[in-house]
Amino acid sequence: MSTTRSTTQREAIWGVLDAAVGPLLPEEILTVARRRCRSLGLATVYRALQRLEDEGRAARVTSGNGRVRFEVARGHHHHFECRDCERVYDVPGCLRSPRSLERTLPAGFRLEAHDVRMQGVCADCA
């Protein structure tokens, strides 16, 4: 099997995602991935991200300001959003078991997932 053009594009996008320290904006992914694929377009980035999400390899993260970011789907973790530089950082671990979270819900509600977002000022900006 030979190296296809499309594999190169997707690999560039995946590589950017995989190397990131936290979820990235599609625009940011485009900018970095263009270093490898000059002609890459934003629509392709969105399509690739959608596909990676469908395959369960990437996860969509909506931050407080409503902008969508993407990250490699690794184990469950939380996010920290810096109100100064707007970057989003991964925060490892989880507060509690899903079980105990579920106990805070009214009867009849089925819990399937959750996410925790913290806001403040990051070490770089403080």
Q: How far is the CB of 51 from DNA (least distance, A)?
A: 8
Amino acid identity, position 4? T
Alpha carbon 99 to its chain centroid, in Å, reads 25
Q: How far is the CB of 117 from DNA (least distance, A)?
A: 16
Would you count residue 44 as binding DNA (CB under 7 A)?
yes
Number of residues that bind DNA (CB under 7 A): 24
Query: Do residues 54 and 42 lie in contact, with contact meaning Cβ atoms separated by under 8 Å?
Result: no
Nearer to a copy of itself, 15 or 98 (CB): 98
Q: Are strands 68-72 and 58-62 parallel, antiparallel or unpaired?
A: antiparallel
Using CB under 8 A as the binding rule, the residues of this chain from 9 to 68 that contact a copy of itself are 62-66, 68
C-alpha R_g of the chain: 17
- Binding to DNA (CB under 7 A) within 76-105 occurs at none
Per CB under 8 A, the segment of 1-9, 26-34, 47-55, 104-112 that binds a copy of itself is 104-112
Q: What is d(CA 28, CA 75) in angstroms, rounded to the nearest whole number?
A: 23
